[in-house]
Amino acid sequence: MRLQSHALSWAREDIVRSRTLRRLIGVSVFAVATAFAARLAIPLPGTPVPFTLQVLCVILAGATLGSRLGAASQLAYLAAGALGAPIFAAGGGLPYLLGPTGGYLLAFPVAAYAVGAVAGRSGNVVRLAVGLAAGVAIIHAGGMGWLLLMTGSLRQALRFGVLPFLALDVVKVVLALFISVRLRTRALELF
């Protein structure tokens, strides 16, 4: 009986370690994906903010990993970039977070958390869509707020940081919804 109890204890430890490892891998995968998405930056005329696929990665992180792990993936991304890894759109280092894109970047963990929290763990596609849209709105609010502080003009902040990206971000939400619907149930079981 004691041997059987000991074997069950080891099995539980393996499951816990395995789940912890899966979570670590999930967080790492989305941190790295966000880094790669940042490096595919396309400068847009009239704005200091480039087009990237980071927003897509951020909202997918929240939808796929859930609120806490999605936010953790983005915190890991920000920490690596702040420590100097050249993983932001134009480099790395703590001063980069004070540049024109700092507000967007700092909103990433909040956005990923919001997506996961709003979407919940159910398979409700409407909740998922609302969560994805909320995540994008949070990123835009962070970016616009930061640009407002930098420029002192709401009009400039909207012109530089929101209007050029709205149509593309709608496409990102639709794409994230399509991807999430297929991956989400299985991913949430893993993490």
CA 90 to chain centre: 18
**pLDDT at residue 169, as a whole number:** 95
**pLDDT at residue 6, as a whole number:** 55
**What residues form DSSP beta bridges with 51?**
42
| pLDDT digits (tens), the chain, 191 positions | 565 555 555 555 565 568 899 999 999 999 999 999 999 999 988 888 999 999 999 999 999 999 999 999 999 999 999 999 999 998 999 999 999 999 999 999 999 999 999 999 888 999 999 999 999 999 999 999 999 999 999 999 999 999 999 999 999 999 999 999 888 777 767 77
Question: From CA 150, how far away is CA 5, in angstroms rounded?
Answer: 62
Give one word for 93, left, alpha or beta, with left for phi > 0 and alpha for psi -120 to 50. Answer: left
**pLDDT at residue 110, as a whole number:** 98
Question: From CA 77, how far away is CA 83, in angstroms rounded?
Answer: 10
Give me the half-sphere count of Cα atoms (radius 13 Å) on the Cβ side of residue 114. 18
Count Cβ atoms within 10 A of the Cβ of residue 17 and give its class: 0-12 exposed, 13-18 middle, 19 or more buried.
exposed
Give the helix/strand (H/E) hosting 112.
Answer: helix 102-119
**pLDDT at residue 56, as a whole number:** 97
What domain range includes position 18? 2-190
Give the single-character DSSP code of 50. P
Q: What pTM, to 2 d.p., does this model score?
A: 0.88
Structure tokens at 22: 């899966």
**pLDDT at residue 149, as a whole number:** 95
CA 154 to chain centre: 26
Q: How many domains does the chain have?
A: 1
The CATH number assigned to the domain holding 173 equals 1.10.1760.20
**pLDDT at residue 184, as a whole number:** 77
